[in-house]
């Protein structure tokens, strides 16, 4: 549970109040995760959007039902809430003005993608006067990221992760852990916090490996209203939500990378909902990105280790779901000139994947290079152009990345040449791999969702197949950073 969500839950007094009128004008209750926790505790959440419609529902279902646990959420301050309704419910205000009274609420609203827990910590550590717009912006851009605030943030979030690892986890718990870990990494890799998190890194991925080997095979049957649980369900999810669709796949983008993009684009004037989903393992482009565009598991592909049919499978998916072939576009790059008739667009952006393979400064270098790219405005322009054309815009990643240390390179006998990776190796079924397994830190991956005629070896812990002792930013393995990736829906103004 985050700091701001705990504060909001305490304000709502869920242990004592069962009928709450929540004035959430700036969406803090939803963005902090407080509403999700209230939902788990049995509260029915009703959006108050039309006074007459609510009045009808109130008279029919709520007036004489004092036992129901309910949160009536008001998000628009212009909508009238009658006095008798206000009097009936426990009133709670959680907008910027009430939660951060010494900061300028208008300026705060401009930072749509701010880390609310970090802001909360920074505000609690601030004992100065009321700040105007310029001073509030300076506070957010400078003071909020001070070493004191960043270190406190890392300590609190790491403590939450440690406690979570002691429990029996499901995939939703791993999503939350992945998000928390990405936020910690951003603070460390960005140079804001000097905390050493290497031991926690080992704990997380040790537990995650055990969980994956036991549970990953069950995920293809899992569904969630929040988003696709696995990347091969992204198409199905978009089809259920939209008619005119643009999917931007940023190859190789981890959760940390995505949060870096959001943190570096304070003027990205769109509401963005980010959820998590599981990539395919091995976490390499031919396997996982192909599953995004085809909507299929790798075992169902004609060639799971090649991208030659990627565009064909993208088109086939949408044609099979009622679109014409001429409605569907597939392309690459930041500057896309779509024909006027296109209704479904798939766009590949290779910037981050290209960046990692030439990265000499590790994850710290990745942070600064991605932040610079985000500030260039290229992605913002692409998103804006698509929204102007009437598309619902989604952003996905096929796999993340990790900083790993080379442990040497095994011989190539029996290796499937189309599927070489610094963190994974796929062998023909006739290959003898005992020597590799003895000399290198690897484990056998059972090939869940993959063709069974091959053998899969994955580097253990933070190791890679590369020059011994050399640091690489790479992918292919089964760490939480490589496997759990972002999926975002962009909401226009």
Element (H, E) at 315: helix 310-319
The architecture CATH gives domain 223-400+481-491: 3-Layer(aba) Sandwich (3.40)
Query: Of 384 and 64, which is predicted with more confidence?
Result: 384
Averaged over 425-448, what is the pLDDT? 91
Residue 210 pLDDT class (50, 70, 90 cuts): very high
How large is the average pLDDT for residues 18-32?
94
What is the pLDDT confidence band of residue 65, given thresholds at 50, 70 and 90? Answer: confident
Average pLDDT, the chain: 94
- The answer to whether residue 231 scores a pLDDT higher than 60 is yes
Could you give the residue ranges of the DSSP H alpha helices within 125-197?
Answer: 133-141, 147-165, 171-189
> What's the rounded mean pLDDT across residues 125-137?
96
Q: Quick check: 404 and 482 in contact, CB under 8 A?
A: no
Each residue's pLDDT tens digit, 440-463: 999 999 999 999 999 999 999 999
Beta bridge partners of 346: 247, 330
Computed on alpha carbons and rounded to an integer, the radius of gyration of the chain in Å comes to 24
* Tokens describing residue 276: 């998590």
d(CA 224, CA 241): 13
pLDDT higher than 70, residue 194: yes
Contact status, residue 292 vs residue 234, Cβ threshold 8 Å: yes
Cα gap 456→424, rounded to integer Å:
7
pTM above 0.85, yes or no: yes
255-262 average pLDDT score:
97
pLDDT tens-digit readout, 277-287: 999 999 999 99
Contact by Cβ (8 Å): 236, 277: no
**Per-residue pLDDT at 117 exceeds 90:** yes
Please name the residue that has the structure tokens 């900083």. Answer: 403
pLDDT of 104 over the 60 cut: yes
How far apart CA 423 and CA 451 sit, in angstroms, is 19
Judged against a pLDDT cut of 70, whether residue 420 lies above it is answered with no
| Cα of 434 vs its chain's centroid, Å | 37
Backbone torsion region of residue 325, taken as left when φ is above 0, otherwise alpha when ψ lies between -120 and 50, otherwise beta: alpha
Q: pLDDT category, 429, cuts 50, 70, 90?
A: confident
User: With contact defined as beta carbons under 8 Å apart, do 37 and 4 qualify?
Assistant: no
Domain boundaries, the chain: 3-99, 223-400+481-491, 403-472
User: Is pLDDT at 267 greater than 80 in this prediction?
Assistant: no
Mean pLDDT across 43-48: 94
pLDDT(87) > 90: yes
**pLDDT grade, residue 337 (50/70/90)?**
confident
Question: Over 60: is that where the pLDDT of 361 sits?
Answer: yes
Quick one: pLDDT at residue 269? 81
Q: What is the pLDDT of residue 64?
A: 82
In the structure, what pLDDT confidence band is assigned to residue 417 with cuts at 50, 70 and 90?
low
Under a CB-based contact definition with an 8 Å cutoff, are residues 158 and 184 in contact? yes
Lowest mean pLDDT segment, chosen from 52-56, 61-65, 203-207: 61-65
Query: How large is the average pLDDT for residues 452-480?
Result: 95
Q: Is 338 a residue whose pLDDT tops 70?
A: yes
- Does the pLDDT of residue 493 top 60, yes or no? no
Nearest to 85 by CA among 19, 18, 10: 19
- % the chain with pLDDT above 70: 99
Alpha helices in 166-275 (DSSP H): 171-189, 198-215, 234-241, 255-263
Give the pLDDT mean for 417-438.
83
- Cβ proximity of 447 and 280 under 8 Å: no
Answer yes or no: are the C-beta atoms of 327 and 344 closer than 8 Å.
yes
- Mean pLDDT, to the nearest integer, of 154-159? 97
State the virtual CA torsion across 183, 188, 189, 192 in degrees, nearest 10.
Answer: 100
Residue 23's H or E segment, with its range, is: strand 19-23
Which CB contacts under 8 angstroms, 24+ apart, belong to 204-209? Answer: 204/161, 204/165, 204/177, 204/480, 205/461, 205/462, 205/479, 205/480, 207/165, 207/169, 208/174, 208/478, 208/479, 208/480, 208/483, 209/443, 209/460, 209/478
Looking at residue 411, its pLDDT comes to 86
- The string of DSSP codes covering 327-393 is GEEEEESS-----TT-SEEEEEE-HHHHHHHT-SSHHHHHHHHHHHHHHTTHHHHHHHHHHHTTPEE
């Amino acid at each position: 549970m985050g700091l701001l969500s705990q504060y909001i839950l305490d304000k709502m007094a869920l242990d004592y109040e069962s009928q709450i009128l929540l004035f959430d004008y700036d969406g803090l209750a939803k963005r902090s995760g407080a509403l999700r926790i209230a939902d788990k505790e049995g509260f029915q959440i009703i959006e108050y959007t039309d006074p007459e419609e609510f009045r009808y529902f109130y008279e029919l279902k709520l007036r004489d039902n004092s036992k129901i646990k309910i949160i009536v959420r008001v998000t628009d301050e212009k909508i009238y809430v009658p006095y008798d309704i206000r009097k009936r419910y426990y009133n709670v205000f959680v907008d910027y003005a009430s939660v951060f009274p010494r900061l300028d609420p208008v300026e705060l609203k401009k930072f749509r993608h701010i880390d609310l827990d970090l802001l909360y910590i920074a505000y609690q550590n601030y004992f100065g006067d009321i700040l105007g717009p310029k001073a509030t912006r300076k506070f957010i851009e400078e003071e909020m990221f001070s070493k004191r605030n960043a270190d406190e943030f890392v300590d609190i979030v790491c403590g939450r992760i440690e406690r979570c690892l002691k429990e029996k986890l499901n995939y939703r718990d791993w999503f939350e852990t992945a998000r928390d870990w990405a936020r910690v990494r951003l603070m460390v890799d960005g140079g804001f916090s000097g905390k050493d998190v290497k031991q926690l890194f080992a704990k997380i991925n040790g537990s995650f490996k055990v969980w994956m080997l036991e549970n990953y095979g069950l995920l293809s049957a899992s569904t969630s209203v929040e988003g696709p649980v696995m990347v091969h369900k992204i198409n199905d999810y978009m089809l259920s939500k939209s008619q005119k669709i643009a999917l931007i796949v940023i190859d190789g983008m981890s959760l940390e990378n995505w949060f870096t993009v959001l943190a570096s684009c304070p003027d990205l004037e769109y509401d963005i909902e980010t959820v998590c989903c599981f990539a395919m393992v091995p976490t390499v482009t031919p396997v996982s990105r192909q599953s995004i565009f085809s909507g299929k598991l790798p075992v169902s592909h004609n060639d799971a280790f090649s991208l030659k049919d990627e565009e064909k499978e993208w088109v086939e998916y949408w044609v099979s779901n009622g679109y014409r072939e001429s409605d569907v576009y597939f392309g690459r790059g930041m500057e896309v000139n779509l024909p006027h008739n296109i209704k479904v667009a798939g766009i590949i952006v290779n910037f981050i994947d290209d960046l990692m393979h030439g990265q000499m400064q590790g994850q710290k270098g990745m942070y600064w290079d991605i932040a610079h790219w985000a500030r260039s405005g290229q992605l913002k322009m692409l998103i804006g152009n698509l929204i102007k054309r009437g598309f619902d815009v989604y952003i996905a990643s096929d796999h993340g990345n990790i900083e790993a240390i080379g442990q040497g390179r095994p011989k190539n006998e029996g290796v499937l040449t189309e599927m070489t990776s610094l963190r994974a190796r796929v062998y023909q079924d006739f290959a003898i791999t005992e020597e590799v397994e003895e000399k290198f830190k690897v484990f056998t991956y059972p090939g869940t969702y993959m063709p069974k005629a091959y053998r899969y070896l994955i580097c253990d812990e933070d190791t890679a197949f590369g020059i011994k002792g050399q640091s690489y930013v790479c992918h292919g393995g089964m760490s939480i950073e490589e496997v759990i990736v972002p999926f975002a829906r962009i909401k226009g103004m």
